[in-house]
Amino acid sequence: MLRRVLPTRCAVCGAWPCHNGGTPWCAACHAQAVAKPPRCPRCALHLAQPHQPHACTRWLHASAAALDYAFAWRDLVLAFKTEPQLAWAPAWAQLMYQAALRGQLSLRQARWWLPIPMAAARLRQRGFNHAWVLAQALAQHTGGQSHLHPHLLQRTLDDQQQHRRSSRQRLAAATAWHVAQPEAVAGQRVVLIDDIMTTGATLDTAAHCLLEAGAAQVDALVLARAPLA
């Protein structure tokens, strides 16, 4: 609440004073974030030029990302993930919503917005799932609560088990996921929600599993997309 009335320092560039309607960053940083970099419409990778060849995802139909997981937002995104900076969720959700509009990713036409579940051991350690926090904030921002389903997509392998596999194996391993009620996704469009998309393999295998369960189309909306190394 105090953020709305007292000047603060921009959490991204450090500018002082920063008045920007309660968001933790200044208007200039916000403008830079939404400046529409060219992204691959399928995997949301930031491309130097349109149609630049890259290792793309296979099962996702479309993806949108609010930010690059890179300077100057990387530390802030990481702080959201590692420290419980949950107060930033509404501001992140607003950026994600704008990214969906820019990427022409239709949230409304999807039946479900499914947060990527966290491995059970990590969930016990952290106490909350960031993807679920973002999905809830997105629903609050858009009035889309009826699109949320916390348990439809479930994880059957934890991250460590998954990391031991090669990336090729991971891409083939839709068995890392389980759809709790296939009848709820049959013929439906689904949008997966996650905080950070690194290679895209996690989201892509989840998309594969949902398609196998009968989903008509699977898209992804993420807060931050890792650029090419």
Binding site for Zn ion (CB under 5 A): 10, 12-13, 15, 26, 29, 40, 42-43, 45, 56
Strand pairing report for 189-197 and 217-225:
parallel
Of residues 17 and 84, the one with the C-beta less far from Zn ion: 17
Least spacing, CB of residue 90 vs Zn ion, in Å: 18
CB of 191 to Zn ion, least distance (A): 17
CA atoms within 13 A on the CB side of 143: 0
Provide the minimum distance between the beta carbon of 13 and Zn ion in the complex, in angstroms, as a whole number.
3
Nearer to Zn ion, 195 or 204 (CB): 204
Q: Which is nearer to Zn ion, 142 or 217 (CB)?
A: 217
Q: Which lies closer to Zn ion via its Cβ, residue 12 or residue 107?
A: 12
- 46 or 147, CB closer to Zn ion? 46
Q: Hey, which residues does 112 pair with through a beta bridge?
A: 190
Residue closer to Zn ion (CB basis): 40 or 210 = 40
Q: How far is the CB of 133 from Zn ion (least distance, A)?
A: 23
Task: Provide the minimum distance between the beta carbon of 21 and Zn ion in the complex, in angstroms, as a whole number.
Answer: 14
3-state secondary structure labels for all residues of the chain? CHHHHCCECCCCCCCCCECCCCCCCCHHHHHHHCCCCCECCCCCCECCCCCCCCCCCCCCCEEEEEEECCCCCHHHHHHHHHCCCHHHHHHHHHHHHHHHHHCCCCCCCCCEEEECCCCHHHHHHHCCCHHHHHHHHHHHHHCCHHHECCCCEEECCCHHHHHCCCHHHHHHCHHHEEECCHHHHCCCEEEEEEEEECCCHHHHHHHHHHHHCCCCEEEEEEEEECCCC
Shortest separation between residue 43's beta carbon and Zn ion, angstroms: 3
